[in-house]
Structure 1
Amino acid sequence: MATDAKDRVYVAHRGPKPVLVFDRDGTFLRPWGDDHIRTAHGLRVDPAGNVWLTDIGSHLVMKFDPAGKLLLSLGRKGKAGDKPDEFDQPTDVAVTPAGDFYVTDGYGNSRVLKFDRTGKLIRQWGTEGQGEGEFDLPHAICLDAKGRVYVGDRENNRVQVFDADGKFLAQWRESGAPYGLFLAGDRLFVADGRAGWIRVLGPDGKLLGRWGEPGAAAGRGPMPHMLCVDSHGDVYVAAVTGKRIQKFVAVKK
């Protein structure tokens, strides 16, 4: 899930009309996506308002306009692979202000790929493992204002930080199992799907706080999978178990 500049909420799910659009109060606006999306996984909205979606069923990364018109598709539909023009269940996308973008190719491969705005491969890095620059299911990715790349290395229970060219900078172990990542200013919000918490990390990777516990009651998060923060500072959390979106309103002190 993700919000756009007007705080409209885009939700990807694995049913008919796989992209659902709501206003910030939860009023349903429109659906789209049946013609192109088989098994939705990651969804992001870029600085220009385009909607990016990874499809683990078709092994595709797709870019749409806000109304659902397909603008770009990368990968070979229905074919898993590890070549530069192939993916194996890609998980997430992060887009730079210039339009270049990164893809975590996570379930079948253990790598990050960087493309220019036209979809031409610039570079890739990562192999399966536990060392620096190695991954065990790179599941989420986001960028900070300096162009640094944050990768949720889910099964290694860490966030790895790289420069824009893939040079390893740091690893943060206080993330728990990072199913979802979202940067808001200098705070990294982490959906720890294994513990059922939302963790907030500071610019040094240290834990600032957390909330949520496993369970079905309001405010609890059974397997939070992704999250985002809107322009008001409100946090939206998508939970796989329970099949719901929860909104947490920022409290001003």
Structure 2
Amino acid sequence: MDRRAFVQKTLTASTAIAAMPSLLVPNSTEELILGHNSHRYRIDTKWGKLDPSRYPVKDCHEMVQDSQGRILLLTNHTKNNVLVYDKSGKLLESWGTEYPGAHGLTLSRENGEDFLFISDNDRHQVIKTTIDGKVVMTLDHPKESGHYEKADQYIPTEVAIGPNGDIYVADGYGAQWVTQYSHAGEFIRSFGGRGNQPENLQNAHGICLDTRDKNNPTLIVSAREENAFKKYSLSGEYLATIPLPGAYVCRPVIHGDYLYAAVLKSRAYGDDPSGFVTILDKENKVVSNLAGSTPTYSGTTPNEMYQTIKVFIYPHDVCIDDEENMYVAQWNSGHVYPYKLNRI
């Protein structure tokens, strides 16, 4: 399903989620604790709220923490595509008016300097900027790959940066290829692509570098319509599938020994806004679901997961800060600002 089709389906979603007997709708989130086992959090829905007339957000797509400890939010509102907060939720600065399809935000640290990679759906480009928004590189559709005849077939959603500076772009709303470039932006190869084989991808929405095995870094790519992540080598060889039944997973985020991901919605509720956040350990076993079902397994595969507490609407990304707290950005959720979840 491409982005336009998904948006259209969500516009016609019913309110059946509120009637599900397993779903809890809290009267207040002030003392609400989310999660399981060692990863439990207290949610703050007021963090980061701003005057929408001055700092409007459309869809809050992704967030990162820079080397100064600041939290950067990417939104597709062109009055201010990037909002920069401190960890208390105070706005420090804003910039960006030229990214109408701003979707993916990736931080890269090079020679002591922070850079950002913005994946823009509408521009069909990936744009590399300094931390304050100066453009230093633009990657157009990869015609060298032979997979694209025109730019609008290419709808990049996320970028990962390899240990040597190689750039990996996931075309999550286009033809589903992951394109690898050198640090200088030279085409190297494409892998994945739409199809029904294990190495193929269905909705390659997110991508990250997995450094949890320090001697063998790999890539993890979302296969959202397959309710899974897929692992690849740095040269694009398919390695494994990580099944997550019921979970339409967005970008994988590695922090320490854990993988974190926003789950846009759960299959149990169809197209209703019913997301949660899932956390996997170093062996890629689910250990906690925030606003979701208790992790249980049948053999080596998780049992189907679903939302149990209605606090998120289409969560799209998570950011884990240097104090182990979490920030959640939400798509198509009434223009809400990000939530902060304090680790307990």
Q: Name structure 2 gaps, 5 residues minimum.
A: 1-62, 267-274, 293-306
Deviations 1:77-115 (A, max 9, x none): xxxx94499561100011124321111011111110111
Alignment of 1:26-41 (within 5 A): 26-34=89-97, 36-41=98-103
Q: Distance in 2 between matches of 1:33 and 1:156?
A: 34
Q: Name structure 1 gaps, 5 residues minimum.
A: none
Partner of 2:108: 46
Of 59, 63, 77, which aligns to 2:124? 59
1:74 correspondence with 2:139: yes
- Which shows bigger deviation, 240-249 or 23-32? 240-249
Partner of 2:231: 161
Q: Secondary structure at the match of 1:164?
A: coil
Of 165, 179, 182, which aligns to 2:250? 179
Partner of 1:3: 65
Higher RCO (Cα < 8 Å, 6 or more apart): 2
Alignment of 1:1-253 (within 5 A): 1-15=63-77, 16-34=79-97, 36-48=98-110, 49-75=114-140, 82-83=147-148, 88-145=154-211, 146-174=216-244, 176-195=247-266, 196-212=275-291, 220-240=311-331, 241-242=333-334, 243-251=336-344
The answer to whether the Cα contact below 8 Å between 2:291 and 2:309 also exists between their aligned partners in 1 is: no
Partner of 2:21: none
The total of aligned residue pairs comes to: 244
2:187 is aligned with what amino acid? L
Q: Distance in 2 between matches of 1:249 and 1:82?
A: 44
- The list of structure 1 runs, each at least 4 consecutive aligned residues, that deviate by more than 6 angstroms after superposition, is none
CA gap of 1:249–1:73, structure 2 versus 1, over 3 A, is same
Higher Cα Rg: structure 1 or 2? 2
Please report the TM-score for the alignment, with normalisation by the length of structure 1: 0.89
CA gap of 1:233–1:161, structure 2 versus 1, over 3 A, is same
Q: Distance in 1 between matches of 2:185 and 2:154?
A: 17
1:211 is aligned with what amino acid? L
2:156 is aligned with what amino acid? P
Q: Secondary structure at the match of 2:225?
A: helix
Q: Distance in 2 between matches of 1:156 and 1:244?
A: 29
Q: Distance in 2 between matches of 1:135 and 1:160?
A: 8
Q: Distance in 2 between matches of 1:84 and 1:67?
A: 34
Deviations 1:162-202 (A, max 9, x none): 11111111111127211121011221101111131111112
Q: Secondary structure at the match of 2:89?
A: coil
The answer to whether the Cα contact below 8 Å between 2:162 and 2:234 also exists between their aligned partners in 1 is: no
Q: What value does the CA root-mean-square deviation take over the aligned residues? A: 2.1
CA gap of 1:14–1:204, structure 2 versus 1, over 3 A, is same
- Which shows bigger deviation, 132-141 or 121-130? 121-130
Deviation at 1:58, TM superposition (A): 0.5
1:191 is aligned with what amino acid? A
CA gap of 1:239–1:201, structure 2 versus 1, over 3 A, is same
**Greater helix fraction, Structure 1 or Structure 2:** 2
Q: Distance in 2 between matches of 1:84 and 1:170?
A: 30
Please report the TM-score for the alignment, with normalisation by the length of structure 2: 0.67
Q: Secondary structure at the match of 2:133?
A: coil
**Greater strand fraction, Structure 1 or Structure 2:** 1
CA gap of 1:244–1:82, structure 2 versus 1, over 3 A, is farther
Q: Percent identity?
A: 29
Deviation at 1:39, TM superposition (A): 1.2
